[in-house]
Amino acid sequence: MKELASKVLKGDTRSVARLITLVENNSRNAANAMKIIHKHTGNAHVVGVTGVMGSGKSTLIYELARGYRKQGKTVGIVGIDPTSPFTGGALLGDRIRMQELACDSGVFIRSMGTRGALGGLTGAIFDVIEILDASGKDVVLVETVGVGQGEVDVVKMADTTLVVLVPGLGDSIQAIKAGIMEIADVFVVNKADRPGVDRAVAELESMLDLKHVEGERRTPVVKTVARKGEGVSELIQKIDNHMNYLKEQNLLELRRRKRYEAELVEIIRRELMSYIFDEKRLKGKIDDLVDRISMKKMDPYTGAEEVLERMLR
C-alpha cells in the first residue's frame, strides 16, 4: 500500500483510479494508503456543483474544467449518480458531456454511484476528494444529484458550493424553498439562452436582498449558457473570489474542519457498521437480539443498549 500511496502522490492515473476503487469497496488496504496520503492534502480547491436534474451541471463542469486548463491548472472531476436501492446498480452518465477531456492528462474524471449512502452523496466522497487532492489536482469539481438532502450535504465537502438553477418552471423558487439559499456560495442561472432568464435572475436577486446583511458578503449570481461556454470565465472569477474571501476572513480553515468532521464521523459509522454485522464479531448477537425482539421478549431499545454496552466494555 505504501507503493500505491506513493504513486498516487506522484499523480499516476492508474494508481489514483485503483485507490478510489479500494475506498469505494471499503477495503482495509485503502485505509492504509489513506493514512499515508492525508498529510499531502489541502491544496485543491474543492468546488461542489449541485442543482436540479438536467440543469446543465455536467456541461458546466466540462466548461469550467476547460477554463481551468487554459489557466494551466489541473482538474479532478467526480460525478455522483444515484444507485438503485433495489438492484444496487447505477447508470453513470455524467461523462457523456465531458469526454472531450478524457485524453487530457491534466484531467481525471471519475463516476460514482451513491451506493446506499443517504442523501445524494456517497460515503467514499471524502476519501475520493483527498485522493484527487493528494494526486496534485489544483481544482476538484464534484457534481451531486440534485435531490433534497444531497444538496445540503455538499456543503460539508466543498470549499465553494455552486447551485445551478434554470429559468422558467418556477424552479428557482422551489429550489430556494428546499433550503438552497443557505448553501450557495455562488448561484448560477444556466440556460440563459432561454426565455425568462432576466426574471429568474431578478427573483433571485430580490431574495438575496432580503437576507443580505450590510457589510457581509453577498452571494453572487452568474448567468451562463453552458452549452456555448458563455459566462464561464466570469463564473471562474466568482469561484476564485470566493476562495479569496474564505482565506481573508479565515473561514477556509472552518470549512475544512467541517469536511474533516464529516469524514471522521463517516469512517466511524462505517467501521461500527462493519463491526456490528461482522460474522466473527457481533452478527450472532444481533441475530439473537432480533429473535428476542420479534418474540416480544425484548424491546429494541434494551437490545441496542446491550449491544452498545458490549462494544464499549
Q: Which positions touch other proteins (CB under 8 A)?
A: 13-14, 16-18, 20-21, 24-28, 83-84, 87-93, 95-96, 99, 102-103, 108-111, 113, 115
In this structure, how many other beta carbons lie within 10 angstroms of the beta carbon of residue 215?
5
227-266 mask for Mg ion (x: CB under 5 A)?
Answer: ----------------------------------------
144 binds Mg ion (CB under 5 A): no
In DSSP terms, which residues pair with 222 in a beta bridge?
Answer: 188
What lies within 8 Å, CB to CB, of 202 at 6+ separation is: none
Residue 104: CB minimum distance to other proteins, A:
9
Nearer to ligand GTP, 12 or 193 (CB): 193
Q: Is the dihedral of CA 42, 74, 127, 116 positive or negative?
A: positive
58 binds Mg ion (CB under 5 A): yes
Supply 276's cell numbers: 456490528
Nearer to Mg ion, 62 or 108 (CB): 62
In DSSP terms, which residues pair with 45 in a beta bridge?
Answer: 139
Q: How many CA atoms lie within 13 A of 34 on its CB side?
A: 22
Q: How many residues bind ligand GTP (CB under 6 A)?
A: 16
Contact with ligand GTP (CB under 6 A): which of 227, 256, 270, 285? 227
Residue 216: CB minimum distance to other proteins, A:
40
Nearest-angstrom CA–CA distance, 221 and 235 = 9
110 binds ligand GTP (CB under 6 A): no
In this structure, how many other beta carbons lie within 10 angstroms of the beta carbon of residue 308?
10
161-200 mask for ligand GTP (x: CB under 6 A)?
Answer: -----------------------------xx-xx------
The amino acid at 168: G
Nearer to other proteins, 57 or 223 (CB): 57
Q: Which of 54, 80, 51, 77 is nearest to 64 (CA)?
A: 77
The residue nearest Mg ion at its CB is 58
54 binds ligand GTP (CB under 6 A): yes
Nearest-angstrom CA–CA distance, 237 and 127 = 28
Supply 252's cell numbers: 477556509
Which residues contact ligand GTP (rule: CB under 6 A)? 53-59, 94, 97, 190-191, 193-194, 225-227
